[in-house]
């Protein structure tokens, strides 16, 4: 119908063990954030390949990049075609998967990024 995909960010990925910080708008969550608005708990430890199976079975998802300790996916909203960039970083020192989920465009996402991460968390927990 519509396509408000925006441009893929060029600042994603893991740098010095950290995912990119949230921009300060309410349409981003990050488990490595110290800001209460964007802070979310990291995901339980699991293999990235197992996490990928969960993520790629969610609707309107495209896997962009995968390594042994990193997964990057794009999620597209059904009606307007807005794209959210979602990254996962397996930190074996902390025994968790850090996550960042951010909308490319706009300011508010009505809590969608947080809801998506919690849905992924629930799918992980149901497998265990």
Tens of pLDDT, residues 12-41: 999 999 999 999 889 999 999 999 999 999
Q: What is the pLDDT of residue 93?
A: 95
Q: What is the pLDDT of residue 105?
A: 84
Q: 15-127 adopts what CATH topology? A: TATA-Binding Protein (3.30.310)
Q: What is the pLDDT of residue 4?
A: 65
Contact 72, 86 (CB under 8 A): yes
pTM as predicted: 0.92
Tokens linked to 84: 């959210």
Residue 59, number of CB atoms within 10 A of its CB: 8
Query: At residue 1, does pLDDT exceed 60?
Result: no
């Amino acid at each position: 119908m519509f396509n408000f995909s925006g441009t893929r960010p060029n600042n994603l990925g893991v740098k010095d063990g950290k995912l990119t910080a949230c921009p300060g708008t309410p349409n981003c969550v990050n488990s490595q954030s110290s800001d209460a608005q964007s802070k979310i708990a990291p995901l339980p430890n699991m293999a990235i390949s197992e996490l990928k199976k969960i993520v790629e079975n969610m609707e309107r998802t495209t896997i962009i990049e995968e390594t042994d300790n990193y997964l990057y996916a794009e999620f597209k909203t059904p009606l307007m075609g807005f794209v959210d960039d979602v990254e996962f970083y397996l930190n074996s020192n902390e025994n968790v998967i850090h996550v960042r989920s951010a909308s490319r465009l706009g300011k508010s996402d009505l809590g969608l990024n947080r809801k998506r991460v919690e849905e992924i968390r629930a799918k992980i927990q149901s497998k265990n």
